[in-house]
Amino acid sequence: MKHPARTSRRTLLALIGASLASAPLLNSPHAAARHAAVGLDDPAKKEIAMKLVSSAENSSLDWKAQYKYIEDIGDGRGYTAGIIGFCSGTGDMLDLVELYADRRPGNVLAPYLPALRRVNGTDSHDGLDPDYPGDWVRAARDEAFRRAQNDERDRVYFNPAVRQGRTDGLRVLGQFVYYDAIVMHGDGTDPTSFRNIRGRALDRARPPAQGGDEVTYLHAFLDARVWAMKQEEAHSDTSRVDTAQRVFLRDGNLDLDTPLDWKVYGDSYHLD
């Protein structure tokens, strides 16, 4: 079952990369050591991150099985699909299909681009039904489409989260906490977006890069995240924070080392 996990995605999501790239460099030896340490972009840690998100988004650790996933989960954002829940109503699905068309002209999804542009910002299926879901599944058999999903996931969500986490002096768990928040909330200008969740946290605690305690700051961030989730009924179950990320934090597992045990929506998961 795909759990509702989309909110406030905007095409300006892509701007986060540029804004983070212009962030001031941290010059202290302590900050330099953090930047040199293993981060969430380490291949093994990234694989853990993909499985953790998939447990919440797809009730499965098999995130690679989700390239073909597509359905309307009734959250007002049209079709939700793929490994990160690209949505027809929020712009990121359109960006993905445009990238795929650039790389594979004449592909099975390219004819839907005019319809995807029309329905962007709405929950409409106009011009997509009845064949779009089936053609998405067909496209997912193409390695070029799977690669495009990976690349858009990284460009819009994963890489910005890791960059901001490193800028704030956070270790692997903190970078993952940021990533999961951007996946769910996007980074728009509304009060529940990632940047505003982070802003609420900064009102209560300082991250390590500003001389604060990492555990204290991450608790403040997760408190702000829970507040944001509860602003929308679809997100009112906060177990992906309460019985997953908060468990790792209380265990002091700031490097997200295995073995890991957690629960999401009452389901138990384990990674060796």
Please tell me the distance from the alpha carbon of residue 269 to that of residue 88, in angstroms, as a whole number: 30
At 188-224, the pLDDT tens digits run 888 999 999 999 999 999 999 999 999 999 999 999 9
Q: Is 70 inside any structural domain?
A: yes
Residues 134 and 212 in one domain: no
What is the separation, in whole angstroms, between the first and last Cα of the chain? 24
If asked whether residues 143 and 218 sit together in one domain, one would say: no
Regarding whether 229 and 193 lie in a shared domain, the answer is: yes
Please report the pLDDT score of residue 211 as a whole number: 98
Contacts of 193 (CB under 8 A, 6+ apart): 8, 185, 186, 187
Exposure on the CB side of residue 264, measured as CA atoms within 13 A:
24
Domain annotation covers residue 128? yes
Same domain, 69 and 151: yes
Q: Is residue 65 part of a domain?
A: yes
What per-residue confidence (pLDDT) applies to 8?
38
pLDDT at residue 74, rounded to an integer = 87
Q: Tell whether 261 and 230 lie within a shared domain.
A: yes
Q: Which two tokens stand for residue 26?
A: 């941290």
Residues 152, 173, single domain; the answer is no
| Domain limit, last residue, from 126, 156, 186 | 156
In a domain, 77, yes or no: yes
- Residue that finishes a domain, picked among 132, 156, 180: 156
Residues 247, 181 share a domain? yes
Is residue 141 in some structural domain? yes
User: Which range of residues forms the domain containing residue 194?
Assistant: 169-265
CATH code of the domain covering residue 255: 1.20.141.10
In three-state secondary structure terms, 5 is: coil
Burial 131-153 (b: 16+ CB within 10 A, else e): ebbebbeebbebeebbebbbebb
The answer to whether residue 208 is domain-embedded is yes
pLDDT at 36: 53
For the chain, residues with pLDDT lower than 70 are: 1-36
Looking at residue 212, its pLDDT comes to 98
Q: For the chain, what is the domain count? A: 2
CATH code at 90? 3.30.386.10
In a domain, 27, yes or no: no
> Is residue 17 one of the residues assigned to a domain?
no
**Catalytic residue ranges:** 57, 75
Do both 133 and 195 map to the same domain? no
Those residues with Cβ within 8 angstroms of residue 232's Cβ, 6 or more apart along the chain or in another chain: 7, 192
